[in-house]
Amino acid sequence: MDEESNNFLGFGLFFFLIVLIVLGGSYLIYTNFQNKQKEKIVDENENVIVSDKNKEEKNKDFIYYTNEVVLSESLSLTSKFPVINLNSSDALNATNELKTYVESVNQTLKKQTEQTACVYENEEQIAETNYLDYGIYTYEEYITLLVLESNFNCETGFSASSKVKSYTFNVLTGKKLTTEELLLKYNTTLTQVLERIRQELESMNETTSESESIQVEETLKNLKENETFVIYIDEFGNLVMNYVVKTNSVDYNDNIIINE
């Protein structure tokens, strides 16, 4: 009899522990869901408003600029320093990297001399300089800073292609997403993306003159070896690649929406 009572008691305790574990797990899942709901709110226009709890400076945007200086009004060239306003080591590292990058680009400015044969005159007498343009894209909890480095030369004008950098962050965690993480998030691979680019470039060549035809193999080789591309999330939630297209005439930047 005692043995039966002990068995019954043991079974009861085991059953109680199982129920406790299930209830505890359910509570944790519910709490986590509620916290995520608080971090993302949908307004009356179905736009997602993301919590700013991870901002370093609450009164500023997730990405803002400092020390803006006009390099040339006539050429509409400025210099400014982007700041990733998130409380994380990834954001701090990116901001410091960008500061060094902007400073190095600023040092490329050269003034005209008596020997400079300018076609594109400017009031500031700039002979040549590299300069940066920026784009900021926000989609739900993701924000991207796109940085394009181009060149101006008073003899040849503005360059048609740009070197590109991108920084995509999850503003709720402060984490910077790598190219591999972005591709994985959209369930694709770089190999698949490059094959799509090959098909598109070959299709474009069918209607392009020989003098302006695209160097398909050279473009793909550059993408693989020199990583002349960036991948980021745009304001519509699309995964986008910006890359340099090599041609028989002038190289240029193009975009492809990866998740189409």
Are residue 142 and residue 202 in the same domain, yes or no? no
Question: What is the model's pTM?
Answer: 0.80
User: What is the per-residue pLDDT across 1-43, written as a single tens digit (0 to 9) for each?
Assistant: 455 555 555 555 555 566 556 555 544 444 444 444 445 544 4
Q: Compare 86 and 8 and report the one with higher pLDDT.
A: 86
User: What is the per-residue pLDDT across 139-173, written as a single tens digit (0 to 9) for each?
Assistant: 999 999 999 999 999 999 999 999 999 999 999 99
Are residue 130 and residue 198 in the same domain, yes or no? no
* Domain range enclosing 247: 181-257
Are residue 171 and residue 243 in the same domain, yes or no? no
Amino acid at the residue 30: Y
Domain assignment present for residue 170? The answer is: yes
Domain assignment present for residue 250? The answer is: yes
Q: Which three-class secondary structure state does DSSP give residue 106?
A: helix
Are residue 74 and residue 141 in the same domain, yes or no? yes
Which of 126, 153, 177 is the C-terminal boundary of a domain? 177
What is the predicted pLDDT for the residue at 50? 79
Are residue 73 and residue 155 in the same domain, yes or no? yes
Query: What distance in Å separates the CA atoms of residue 230 and residue 167, rounded to the nearest whole number?
Result: 9
What is the predicted pLDDT for the residue at 216? 95
Q: Report the domain count for the chain.
A: 2
- What is the CATH number for 83? 3.30.565.40
Mean pLDDT, range 224-239, rounded to an integer: 93
